[in-house]
Structure 1
Amino acid sequence: MFKRSLYSIALALFLVTSALTIYFGKETFHFNTPPAGAESPPAYHFVLIPEELDNDYWHLVEQGAREAARHLHVHLEYLGPKQADLEEHLKTIDMAIAGKVDGIMTQAINDGEFSPLIKKAGEKGIPLVTIDTDAPGSSRKAYIGTDNYYAGFLAGKALLTDTEGEQFVGIVTGRLEAAHQKLRVQGFRDAVEHEKRVQILDVKESNITKIGAVEAAYGLLKAHPQITALYGTSALDGSGMAQVVERLRTDNPPYVIAFDTLPETISYLESGLIDATIVQYPYKMGYRAVQSLVALQEGKKLDELQHTETTVLRKENLPFSPLSQRGEVQ
């Protein structure tokens, strides 16, 4: 009798949770039909789900997506965790599916629950494309973004070009288990692998925060005072590493190569505390992602891998404007 009661309670909780997910999904991902005589309703309803909402990099992705949505008559929503949060990210995807949107754009997550969600979306006729980070083993329709291995390889080649003599490298990475971060580290390793003058000493995690990057860089330099170069693989790592180098104020500061072009990163590049940074094209990622979802709705075939450009930016290439990251969008 007791077991039967527990089973009944568990079943009731499950049904209530499922009902709430569907209800809030429909309420969140819903736009009103314009009144008679007003502009015609959008052709499609897409949602862009970033790693975290208040992030300069993802705002550039959003800008590109909104520009494409304006041109292609798409209603676009930008929703997700305020700060990087796996559970909240997955929940937002699930709510988008429950809300019956016409397409989903999101960063892939290295998690066992992510691929089943993509499959669930497909079963309900909702195409999903990944941005910035891919999930090649899933049923996503396409990946639009940086070739992260190649980006890491470029960083390694930049180190070889810009330095002479023995180099002892410390790496700061956003998350040790994040797929795109691992590719950026591996690409760097492979670029310097056959150079006997370069030795990678250690890798530390920043948890995709500036304070985490400061702590990781300080920990690397404290544990390995012989370090002559620092490489950061996520957007906030560069400014965190530069801040530590600035505080130490040594006569022979380490070579610093960062990732992305946030305003603070560019400022440190101007001052010489950062020597180079890897440039991505997030605006183009957002624009192409919307184009891809529209193409899928129209029954067109897509290239599964749509890599956007990656370049190296140095002080001599300044001034630099984020608008230059738009590139040519077609």
Structure 2
Amino acid sequence: MSKFSTISYSVGSLLFLISCSFSIYYGYKVITHDLPKEQKTVEKYNYHFVLVPEEMDNEYWKLVEKGAKDAAKKYGVLLEYAGPKQANIDDHVKTIEMSAASKVDGIMTQGLSDEQFTPLINRVVSSGIPVVTVDTDAANSRRLAYIGTDNYYAGYLAGKALIADTFGKVNVAIITGSFYANHMQQRVKGFEDAVKREKRINIIAVEESEISRVKAAEKANHILQEHPEVTAFFGTSALDGIEIAHVVTKYHKQKQIYIIGFDTLPETLGFIREGTIHATVVQEPYQMGYGAVKMMIDLLKGNKVPTIVHTDTKIIRKSDLPVSNQDRKAVDK
């Protein structure tokens, strides 16, 4: 072998070794990058449920979700929280249909409209998937159970609170979240029945907010312009009372207009503390979510479950709230 050949062979061998070294190094880097440092534990679930809210970003439904997730964690359930971002009955129906098509073990949902939800729930149950209604019942459907507020009773309580808190002639305007939703219809009906024998109380307007802050404010503003004689408002959804309070404040009529709302969102409680909202109906959304998951598990196990479970409902006023630091400072002064 010539000297030149020997050198060429040596250089070639060196380049091959360098090439191999780079290949091994980078190959090792890619493999170790793709592989996890430790084996991940695969969580095992006993059941797969879907909770379909009226609207996902609603603070009230976030509390229902919290209760459902806590129960799911305790009982080994994979829980999906899925539905329309803003109230939309068509999107709500589609979510239920998709959940049923994916063969989940159970569906928890509102029974918003008899016309659309009763046949839908019946189809889902016929396919072998149990349905529990939450917050709003679909009593005429084949749903297996309902857990939530007695919405007629809640509206009736609101009417009785207005009677107790007011005197003389009262002209009431109602802003309701929806004309088609069962629970809103029941709240309005309960309120109307509570006050109908009181000759001094007249309901002069009923408007729909579509579960929208903007719409609720628009309706409240319209009512005050069209009916300056209004001396009381009833808001049947969490957002209605809040936006009524904003509009009443804008017109500087806090002392002239009585407001009763729904639920205990932080903003609602703030308006109660300052005296703009006089009372609100309290529901138990966390209790609904937690109880719905537990009911569904019992149903799948073949245990006997009550057809209807009404969660707690009551009226609270400023006197029922704990004293805030701001209130303490005001008293000290």
Question: Which TM-score band (shorter chain)?
Answer: 0.7 to 0.9
Equivalent in 257, 262, 267 of residue 264 of structure 1: 267
Equivalent in 126, 129, 132 of residue 126 of structure 1: 129
Structure 1 partner of 2:305: 302
Assess if the C-alpha contact under 8 Å between 1:245 and 1:253 holds in 2.
no
Amino acid at match of 1:182: Q
Equivalent in 108, 111, 120 of residue 111 of structure 2: 108
Separation in 1 of the partners of 2:96 and 2:323? 35
Structure 2 partner of 1:194: 197
Assess if the C-alpha contact under 8 Å between 2:87 and 2:210 holds in 1.
no
**Cα pair distance change 1:267/1:148, threshold 3 Å:** same
C-alpha displacement at 1:40, in angstroms? Answer: 5.7
C-alpha displacement at 1:216, in angstroms? Answer: 1.1
Match status 1:54 vs 2:62: no
Instruction: Give 1 or 2 for the bigger CA radius of gyration.
Output: 2
Match status 1:283 vs 2:293: no
Separation in 1 of the partners of 2:205 and 2:257? 15
C-alpha displacement at 1:302, in angstroms? Answer: 1.4
Separation in 2 of the partners of 1:182 and 1:109? 10
Amino acid at match of 1:264: E
Match status 1:204 vs 2:207: yes
Amino acid at match of 1:302: V
Q: Deviations over 1:207-263 (max 9, x none)?
A: 111111111111112221111111000110011100111000137420000011111
Structure 2 partner of 1:155: 158
C-alpha displacement at 1:320, in angstroms? Answer: 8.9
**Cα pair distance change 1:150/1:320, threshold 3 Å:** farther
> Could you say what secondary structure the match of 1:236 adopts?
helix
**Cα pair distance change 1:84/1:250, threshold 3 Å:** closer
Amino acid at match of 1:105: M
TM superposition score normalised by structure 1: 0.84
Amino acid at match of 2:224: L
After superposition, residues 64-103 of structure 1 pair within 5 angstroms as 64-103=67-106
Separation in 2 of the partners of 1:221 and 1:303? 45
**Cα pair distance change 1:128/1:201, threshold 3 Å:** same
Question: What are structure 2's unaligned runs of at least 5 residues?
Answer: 1-38, 325-333
**Cα pair distance change 1:319/1:148, threshold 3 Å:** same
Separation in 2 of the partners of 1:215 and 1:38? 52
Match status 1:183 vs 2:194: no
Q: Deviations over 1:18-48 (max 9, x none)?
A: xxxxxxxxxxxxxxxxxx9946611111010
Q: How many residues align?
A: 287
Question: What are structure 1's unaligned runs of at least 5 residues?
Answer: 1-35, 322-330
- Note the aligned Cα RMSD (angstroms): 1.8
Structure 2 partner of 1:319: 322
Q: Deviations over 1:85-108 (max 9, x none)?
A: 111111110110011000000111
Assess if the C-alpha contact under 8 Å between 2:114 and 2:182 holds in 1.
no
Moved more, 118-127 or 188-197: 118-127
Separation in 2 of the partners of 1:96 and 1:251? 46
Structure 2 partner of 1:135: 138
TM superposition score normalised by structure 2: 0.83
Q: Deviations over 1:252-310 (max 9, x none)?
A: 42000001111111111111110001000000000000011000010012111110010
C-alpha displacement at 1:113, in angstroms? Answer: 3.2
Moved more, 262-271 or 281-290: 262-271
Separation in 1 of the partners of 2:277 and 2:323? 14
C-alpha displacement at 1:184, in angstroms? Answer: 0.4
Structure 1 partner of 2:223: 220
C-alpha displacement at 1:50, in angstroms? Answer: 0.3
